[in-house]
């Protein structure tokens, strides 16, 4: 690759001219304590940091930002840290999904409006990965993604605990009266033992794996535990590499292709990915001008087995085990021959195939061979039918096999509070054959499509030993969740999707092998119900929510804002005012 000169750098437009505007820019940098030797001849690298006091997944990012800056300086660049909104799923209500696009806007505009030539993007908790990358794709500057990394495995009385997955299981045991309050406090103190993202294969690890597979992070970086010393070294390397990417003008447009996104889908299937991967990857691909669809996910699910034996799809291991077993490089090496295009470019400036050279797997039970998969098809399946004509999603690798083909009566709830109250009522008229339905929980109805899709098993059934049953909604669920949950029903009920017409007692037939879901009600009856349906009132009348409500797309289209989907490689021209 040819190297650019300093005069060709974007930041030189701010800093290099002998005019009054550049005088103002230089004098303000000097006000901050910098001198010409800090910027003359050097690319300026933005360190986009999503740290906050209320995002435990990113609790180490203050230190990692400093390590990135060290790497930038080592490579001859000038680092500047720019804070971005920190959307941590643990605390933000109703859901960080409401703010993913806001982060994407902020990342794009931070890069576009400041005198920077490239960026290192610090993210990890669920929506920060797609949000940062979507914004960076649209901005079009050289950038590299630094994944937060998973936390250490949890522990309770010597038992390894996994984020979310074990919390749900133990909560059911508590509801059943099998765990005391004192024991529950012990679990609270042991399940999250360090900074970092969920250490199950939840949405955070899924999305950082996808960034890795896309070639947007250093290959293998996504599986390094957050508090491992290797993570600090990786951070510095990201800083060094960002400088070289600027000189090479290695932008996302030169890294990404449709093949990159197909690779990412296949890797997602192999790791036992979160259902949220579909929404985020579709949105990211549309920003990149390499659009993938639900059909691409379903096609991949038919041919790519789940080989990462990590909870919730796996039954034993966590992300720390995955890293020690060979991590993402090891897993991708097993997919390389049959399921990956190794010719795609990565941010390293080398192809994926070059980056995987010498990769090994050190534990065949954690990262299984293809012929000994934990689930012979991919992690996700896309179902369609009259109840979800634009599709819905299930994670068959993490649900009880008897529910893959099932017909049962609907038990319908119109909102989360009424559902939550009902499932704790031991007099609720429900059996394990019922299909619990929560509606008005989609992109507009939630609002923001909250993680409500793993509806609690009614306590009446929990006390009978039931631990799984079919659940259907237009909501999402946490990637750490499990069970026979059918999610993302599109179009959502809030806008009049067929889910809005279901009544308690209606029979629904689910056939995952056939990829179908059918409401067993005649078209004539559904027409009568539709005529009687009344649209709900708007959720928002002002502010960001008002904008969100008018521009959000449905789940099958990635839930991006319609006005942000533009042709990749054609960002808004920057005004020549310098």
Q: Residue 520: count other Cβ atoms within 10 Å of its Cβ.
A: 13
Cα atoms in the Cβ-side hemisphere of radius 13 Å centred on 279? 36
| pLDDT value of position 575 | 63
Q: Which residues, in sequence order, are CB contacts of 510 under 8 Å at separation 6+?
A: 383, 403, 404, 405, 406, 407, 435, 470, 486, 516, 517
Q: What is the CATH number of domain 381-532?
A: 3.50.30.80
- What per-residue confidence (pLDDT) applies to 578? 53
What span, in angstroms and rounded, lies between the C-alpha atoms of 51 and 215? 24
pTM over cut 0.75: yes
In 514-559, the DSSP E strands lie at 516-519
Beta strands in 435-550 (DSSP E): 435-438, 471-473, 485-487, 507-511, 516-519
Query: Is residue 455 within 8 Å of 436, Cβ to Cβ?
Result: yes
Distances (CA, A) of 469 to 358, 380, 405, 486: 44, 17, 12, 11
User: Are the C-beta atoms of residues 205 and 38 closer than 8 Å to each other?
Assistant: no
Residue 193's pLDDT is 95
Which among 132, 206, 159 has a CA at the least distance from the CA of 398? 206
311, 386, 28, 289: which is closest to 160 by C-alpha?
Answer: 311
List alpha helices for 176-257, DSSP H.
181-190, 203-214, 229-248, 252-255
User: pLDDT value at position 569?
Assistant: 47
Name the DSSP class of 310.
Answer: B
User: How many C-beta neighbours within 10 Å does residue 574 have?
Assistant: 11
Question: Please, where in the chain does CATH 3.50.30.80 lie?
Answer: 381-532
Q: For the beta carbon of residue 2, count every other beta carbon within 10 angstroms.
A: 6
Pick the closest to residue 251 from 259, 260, 242 (CA basis). Answer: 242
Residue ranges of the chain with per-residue pLDDT less than 50: 568-569
What's the pLDDT at 572? 60
């Amino acid at each position: 690759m040819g190297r650019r000169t300093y005069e060709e750098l974007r930041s030189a437009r701010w800093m290099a001219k002998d005019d009054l505007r550049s005088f103002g820019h230089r004098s303000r940098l000097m006000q901050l304590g910098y001198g010409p030797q800090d910027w003359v001849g050097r690319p300026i690298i933005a360190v986009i940091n999503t740290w906050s006091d209320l995002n435990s997944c990113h609790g180490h990012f203050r230190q990692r930002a400093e390590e990135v800056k060290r790497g930038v300086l080592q490579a001859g660049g000038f680092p500047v840290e720019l804070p971005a909104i920190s959307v941590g799923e643990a605390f933000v209500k109703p859901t960080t999904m409401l703010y993913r696009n806001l982060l994407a806007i902020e990342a794009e505009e931070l890069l576009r409006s400041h005198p920077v030539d490239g960026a290192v993007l610090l993210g990890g908790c669920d929506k920060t990965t797609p949000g940062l990358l979507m914004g960076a794709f649209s901005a079009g500057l050289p950038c590299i993604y630094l994944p937060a990394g998973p936390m250490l495995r949890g522990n309770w009385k010597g038992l390894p605990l996994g984020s979310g997955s074990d919390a749900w299981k133990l909560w059911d045991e508590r509801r059943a009266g099998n765990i005391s309050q004192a024991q529950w406090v012990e679990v609270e103190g042991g399940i999250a033992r360090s900074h970092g993202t969920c250490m199950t294969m939840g949405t955070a690890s899924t999305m950082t794996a996808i960034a890795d597979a896309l070639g947007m992070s250093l290959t293998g970086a996504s599986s390094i535990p957050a508090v491992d010393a290797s993570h600090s070294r990786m951070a510095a390397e990201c800083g060094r590499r960002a400088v070289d990417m600027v000189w090479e003008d290695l932008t996302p447009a030169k890294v990404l292709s449709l093949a990159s996104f197909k690779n990412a889908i296949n890797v997602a299937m192999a790791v036992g990915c979160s259902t949220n991967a579909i929404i985020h990857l579709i949105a990211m691909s549309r920003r990149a001008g390499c659009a993938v669809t639900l059909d691409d996910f379903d096609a991949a699910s038919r041919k790519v087995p789940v080989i990462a034996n990590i909870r919730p799809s796996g039954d034993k291991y966590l992300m720390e085990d995955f890293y020690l077993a060979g991590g993402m490089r090891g897993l991708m090496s097993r997919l390389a021959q049959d399921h990956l295009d190794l010719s795609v470019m990565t941010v390293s400036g080398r192809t994926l195939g070059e980056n995987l050279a010498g990769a090994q797997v050190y534990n065949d039970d954690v990262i299984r061979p293809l012929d000994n998969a934990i689930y012979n098809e991919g992690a996700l399946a896309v179902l369609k039918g009259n109840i979800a004509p634009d599709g819905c999603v299930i994670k068959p690798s993490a649900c009880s096999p008897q529910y893959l083909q099932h017909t049962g009566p609907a038990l319908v709830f119109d909102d989360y509070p009424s559902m939550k109250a009902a499932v704790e009522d031991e007099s609720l008229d429900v059996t394990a054959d019922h299909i619990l339905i929560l509606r008005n929980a989609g992109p507009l109805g939630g609002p923001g499509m909250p993680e409500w899709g793993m509806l609690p098993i009614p306590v009446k059934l929990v006390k009978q030993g039931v631990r799984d049953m079919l659940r259907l909604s237009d909501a999402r669920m946490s990637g750490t969740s499990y069970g026979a949950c059918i999610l993302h029903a599109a179009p959502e009920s809030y806008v009049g999707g067929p889910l809005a017409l279901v009544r308690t007692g209606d029979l629904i037939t689910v056939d995952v092998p056939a990829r179908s879901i059918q409401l067993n009600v005649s078209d004539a009856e559904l027409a009568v119900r539709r005529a009687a349906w009344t649209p709900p009132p708007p959720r928002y009348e002002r502010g960001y929510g008002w904008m969100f409500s008018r521009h959000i797309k449905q789940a099958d289209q990635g839930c991006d804002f319609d006005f942000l989907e533009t042709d990749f490689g054609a960002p808004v021209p920057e005004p020549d005012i310098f």
